[in-house]
Structure 1
Amino acid sequence: MKRIGLFGGTFDPPHYGHLLMAEQVYQQLELDEIWFIPSYQPPHKANAKTTAADRLELTKRAIAGHPAFFVNPIEVERASTSYTLTTVRLLKEQYPEDTFYFIIGGDMVEYLPKWNEIDILLELVTFVGVNRPGHSLETNYPVKEVHMPLIDISSTMIRQRVQQRQSIRYLTPPEVIAFINKNGLYS
């Protein structure tokens, strides 16, 4: 039986903020693994700026070398709007012996009351809220709190910097930057 952190997101692109968040949850909760789950199309965001296949590859490159970090393509392979409940139910069917922890930032903790069938989801996973600049971890829902050094990096910031031909060095791993440059993403 494994204790697995599920980290869903658009990852458009993944950056050091995502990686630091995952590492802090992995360490503080003493999990066995963290599964990054790039969404095909999240229900609460406008269309992603790149293809699901590109975001899957970017995420693989971002986590390369970490022995406990893995990419699970379950939502990309489903090729439809990504609802957390659907994904978690499928994972629970495939891995019935494992315990899942669903990792969210402070912005999503505030949004929990609007999640699709949140009460059912709370029976299937333990939510883990990670502090994020400008957001609170206070909620009426049971959420384990993990604190990390605040790092104010966003995928939006990285996309804007690429469009403006500014450096994104030290915001995301070199392997991610190389893929962005090679494929002309975000420019």
Structure 2
Amino acid sequence: MLGGTFDPVHLGHLRSAVELREALGLDRVHMIPAARPPLRGEPRVTPEERLTLLRLGIGDTPGLVADPRELERDGPSYSADTLAELRAAYGVEARLVMALGHDAFLRLADWHAPERLFAEAHLVVVDRPDHEAALPEPLAELIAGREVEDAAALMAAPAGGLLRLRLPSRMAISATAVRRRLAEGRSVRYLLPEAVEARALALGLYRRGAEAGG
């Protein structure tokens, strides 16, 4: 599971999904747009449009799935609920993984029912170079005894582990910067998949006065 607002989906998101699948030997990566992200402002582009852009971005990429399940639930888009749905779908023996970026990881102790995340899945943190910095105390307590050294150790059990992973490409693309460029009428070529760029421009998504915050 790779969740996010995908506001809009960009090449950094998609390349990370491909590299996660390769690094962990995953059957598939569910890319799941959050309908109502609990810890940030609600995007101004609708969840349905963000899902459409995600489907366009994925295209026919093997192993990547645009998953609408958080759009089909009422209330905030809690990751613990999403993982419980995936666990119910794949069974108790399946190896489930939730991937998240380093910044989101640092706020993990503030998430809704963070202990439930480890009950349903492993967590993989896509690290940045300064990941050796000290962690906040509540986060350190939450992950105590869970960290493993490699993908093989992680996949020895269906859930409960934590792996920090450095991806090869680590494309430094910001959705905030993409929205700003679109709002200002500047080029987003090679930041977005061509089909996503074409739809965003054709519909005037993120044009000045309509861009999402955050």
| Equivalent position SS for 2:96 | strand
- Where does residue 106 of structure 1 map in the other structure? 102
Matching residue within 157, 178, 197 for 1:158: 178
Higher strand share: 1
Note if contact 2:36-2:42 (Cα within 8 Å) is conserved in structure 1: yes
Aligned-pair CA distance for 1:79 = 4.0
- Contact 1:131–1:150 under 8 Å retained in 2: no
Alpha-carbon distance in 2 for matches of 1:132, 1:39: 23
Cα 1:21–1:132 change in 2 (3 A) is: farther
1:57 corresponding residue in structure 2: 52
Q: Matches of 1:24 and 1:105 in 2, distance apart? A: 14
Q: What's the TM-score once normalised by structure 1's chain length?
A: 0.91
Give the superposed CA RMSD: 1.6
* Residue equivalent to 1:180: 200
User: How many percent of aligned residue pairs carry the same amino acid?
Assistant: 32
CA–CA separation in structure 2 for the residues paired with 1:50 and 1:137: 36
Shift of 1:86: 1.1
Post-superposition offset of 1:137: 6.8
Q: After superposition, what is the alpha-carbon deviation per residue over 1:130-172, rounded to whole angstroms, capped at 9, x for unaligned?
A: 0247x63765323212212332211111100001110000001
Q: Would you say the 8 A contact 1:85–1:116 is kept in 2?
A: yes
Aligned to 1:3: none
- In structure 2, the CA distance between the partners of 1:132 and 1:12, relative to structure 1 (3 Å rule), is farther
Does structure 1 residue 145 correspond to structure 2 residue 164? yes
Secondary structure of 2:72's partner? helix
TM-score, normalised to structure 2's length? 0.80
What is the Cα deviation at residue 99 of structure 1? 2.1
SS in structure 2 of the partner of residue 176 of structure 1: helix
What's the secondary structure of 1:77's corresponding residue?
coil
Aligned pair partner of 1:70 in 65, 69, 74:
65
CA distance in 2, matches of 1:18, 1:132: 15
Q: Matched residues in 2 for 1:179 and 1:137: separation? A: 40
SS at match of 1:128: strand
Q: Does 1:37 align with 2:56?
A: no
| Equivalent residue letter for 1:11 | F
Post-superposition shift, 1:98? 2.8
CA shift digits 1:119-140 (9 cap, x unpaired):
122111100110247x637653
CA gap 1:132/1:178 in 2 versus in 1, 3 angstroms: farther
For structure 1, which runs of at least 5 residues remain unmatched after alignment? 1-5
Aligned to 2:126: 130
Could you tell me which amino acid in structure 2 is paired with residue 184 of structure 1?
A: G
1:80 aligns with 2:100: no
Letter of the 1:185 counterpart: L
> In the comparison of the two structures, how many residue pairs are matched?
181
